[in-house]
């Protein structure tokens, strides 16, 4: 798709209401997806509004998504839009670095998250998940969000930074990751370094994690140090920029922390939504479980190839991604006037694309408010029928680097859970928790579990 500058643009509809400077910040903060959905239904596929003194342009629909995801960094900048993340990522790391360095760093982290290295991490993920489930006992009650957060924190720490890190910070880890996530607030769009308590906790958590990674790098560099299987840390320690220079320990620590940050809460939320929706729809819960029982007999190993063949589980994950994408709003900043579909988004505006709002478009997904994993099955394949309709992992230039990692770990977790436990929700799902940029099921989200009799 080519993006052309047209001489005559139509005017973007502006949402009515809002307060001076704050604009629609209160409504947006309260329920970002609901707010954008309402705007989409009343003002159409593109509209503008003010948020904390900043002009925002919302763009919805497959053709707008394609245009945004295909745009080059010089046109629509991801880096500019996510400057509020720099206190977490670190100066000189990804969005905190220049464009060329950012691109080189993105390539460096790709290796361990894809292909052979990703496949090799499957047994480690299985071992981490199994150890967690073994400790659950015969039966009990747990919060599903906590379970998913603990499981994904252990897997991310173990697979990305390594076993030393995982053991060193065991008790603290989950709280530190939560402090990082809770440090991503709407106020960060104005100034992410304001002296607010969540920002202070974010900075303390970052310092603690980075110090620990530094220690591990130091230990690994000692002559005669034991080298285990390759993880992201080993990859980054031997990586080189185009000019041949190595990464400093600060940058390595920042990149590892960035990957954990990008992947842990998102994966935990996606795993929790998949479970909440499955348990609220017994027909699908039983189908997913029957599929696992069949695999358990015929192909019990949780290899990437077997995980790939689990079509029911796959459809359930996609439906959770569609209904409750963990990243519900994606952002870009226009570096020059950007024209799409006859309207101009002026230079300096913040562009919003919303998986959460756009996934409820009836022109893309039939009966969008209904839970129906079969929409992704044979005969319907609503995701393939409309490219750029399902965008829970983004797309194009900045599509999720960790997609394969996230899917592999979550399929492993849910395969084991369904094979080994009878599960039951203790209450119907409540309204989503949208207090940070990652949308999770609202608490309480308690489940009851009982170990099944014939476990593998
Ligand atoms: C269910 C879990 C996940 C979801 C829903 C998710 C979602 C997304 C989305 C929507 C984007 C695009 C952002 C944009 O266009 O503005 C993205 C980018 C990214 N994700 Fe994920 N993600 C997940 C897991 C992970 C994991 C596990 C990792 C790494 C270990 C990861 C690393 C990244 C990185 C590095 C980018 C930036 C790519 C770029 O700008 O080129 N993500 N993710």
Q: How many residues does the chain have?
A: 456
DSSP string covering 105-135, please? HHHHHHHHHSHHHHHHTHHHHHHHHHHHHHT
- pLDDT tens for 161-181 read 888 887 776 677 778 888 998
Over residues 116-123, the mean pLDDT reads 94
pTM of the model: 0.94
Among 406, 128, 373, 142, smallest CA distance to 266 is for 406
Contact 46, 67 (CB under 8 A): no
| 439 CB near ligand 1 (under 6 Å) | no
Contact 294, 436 (CB under 8 A): no
| 406 CB near ligand 1 (under 6 Å) | yes
| 183 CB near ligand 1 (under 6 Å) | no
CA dist., res. 122 & res. 177, Å (int): 23
> At residue 356, does pLDDT exceed 70?
yes
Nearest CA to ligand 1 atom 41: 398
> At residue 408, does pLDDT exceed 80?
yes
CA dist., res. 271 & res. 275, Å (int): 6
Produce one character per residue of 134-153: b if its CB has 16 or more CB atoms within 10 Å, e if not: eeeeeeeeebbbebbbbbbb
| 330 CB near ligand 1 (under 6 Å) | yes
Contact 316, 325 (CB under 8 A): no
CA dist., res. 241 & res. 101, Å (int): 8
| 273 CB near ligand 1 (under 6 Å) | no
- pLDDT tens for 148-161 read 999 999 999 889 88
The β-bridge partners of 448 are: 141, 424
| 88 CB near ligand 1 (under 6 Å) | no
Burial of 369 (0-12, 13-18, 19+ CB in 10 A): exposed
Instruction: State residue 168's pLDDT score.
Output: 75
Instruction: State residue 435's pLDDT score.
Output: 85
Contact 266, 406 (CB under 8 A): yes
> At residue 1, does pLDDT exceed 70?
no
Over residues 84-96, the mean pLDDT reads 94
pLDDT band at 94 (very low <50, low <70, confident <90, very high): very high
Over residues 420-432, the mean pLDDT reads 94
Helices (H), 84-196: 86-89, 99-113, 115-120, 122-134, 144-156, 163-168, 170-182
Distance 42 CA to ligand 1 centre (A): 30
Q: Which atom of ligand 1 is least distant from the CA of 330?
A: 16
Percent of the chain with pLDDT over 90: 82
Nearest CA to ligand 1 atom 43: 400
- pLDDT tens for 192-217 read 999 999 999 999 999 999 998 899 89
């Amino acid at each position: 798709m080519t993006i052309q500058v047209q001489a005559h643009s139509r005017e973007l509809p502006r949402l009515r209401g809002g307060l001076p400077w704050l604009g629609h910040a209160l409504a947006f903060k309260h329920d970002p997806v609901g707010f954008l959905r309402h705007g989409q239904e009343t003002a159409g596929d593109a509209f503008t509004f003010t948020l904390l003194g900043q002009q925002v342009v919302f763009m919805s629909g497959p053709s707008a998504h394609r245009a945004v995801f295909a745009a080059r960094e010089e046109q629509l900048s991801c880096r500019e839009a996510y400057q509020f993340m720099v206190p977490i990522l670190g100066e000189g790391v990804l969005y905190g670095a220049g464009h060329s360095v950012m691109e080189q760093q993105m390539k460096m982290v790709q290796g361990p998250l894809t292909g052979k290295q990703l496949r090799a991490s499957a047994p480690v993920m299985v071992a981490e998940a199994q150890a967690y489930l073994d400790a659950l006992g015969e039966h009990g009650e747990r919060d599903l969000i906590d379970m998913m957060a603990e499981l994904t924190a252990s897997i991310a720490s173990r697979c990305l930074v390594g076993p030393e890190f995982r053991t060193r910070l065991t008790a603290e880890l989950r709280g530190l990751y939560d402090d990082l996530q809770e440090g991503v607030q709407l106020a960060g769009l104005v100034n992410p370094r304001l002296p607010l308590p969540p920002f202070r906790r974010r900075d303390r958590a970052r310092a603690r994690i980075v110090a620990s990674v530094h220690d591990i790098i130091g230990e690994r560099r000692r002559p005669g140090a034991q080298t285990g299987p390759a993880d992201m840390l080993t990859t980054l320690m031997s990586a080189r920029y185009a000019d041949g220079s190595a990464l400093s320990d600060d940058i390595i620590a920042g990149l590892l922390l960035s990957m954990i940050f990008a992947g842990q809460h998102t994966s935990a939320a996606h795993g929790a939504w998949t479970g909440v929706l499955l348990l609220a729809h017994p027909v699908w819960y039983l189908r997913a479980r029957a599929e696992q029982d069949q695999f358990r007999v015929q192909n019990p190993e949780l290899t990437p190839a077997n995980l790939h063949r689990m079509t029911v589980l796959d459809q359930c994950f996609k439906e959770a991604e569609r209904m409750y994408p963990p990243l519900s709003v994606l952002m870009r900043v226009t570096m020059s006037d950007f024209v799409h579909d006859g309207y101009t988004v002026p230079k300096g505006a913040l562009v919003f694309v919303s998986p959460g709002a756009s996934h409820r478009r009836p022109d893309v997904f039939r009966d969008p408010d209904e839970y129906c994993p079969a929409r992704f099955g044979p005969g319907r394949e609503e995701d393939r029928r409309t490219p750029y309709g399902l965008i829970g992992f983004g797309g194009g230039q900045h599509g999720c680097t960790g997609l394969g990692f996230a899917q592999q770990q979550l399929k492993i977790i849910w395969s084991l859970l369904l094979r080994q436990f009878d599960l039951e929700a203790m209450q119907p799902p409540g309204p989503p928790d949208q207090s940070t940029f990652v949308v999770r099921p609202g608490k309480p989200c308690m489940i009851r579990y009982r170990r099944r009799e014939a476990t593998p």
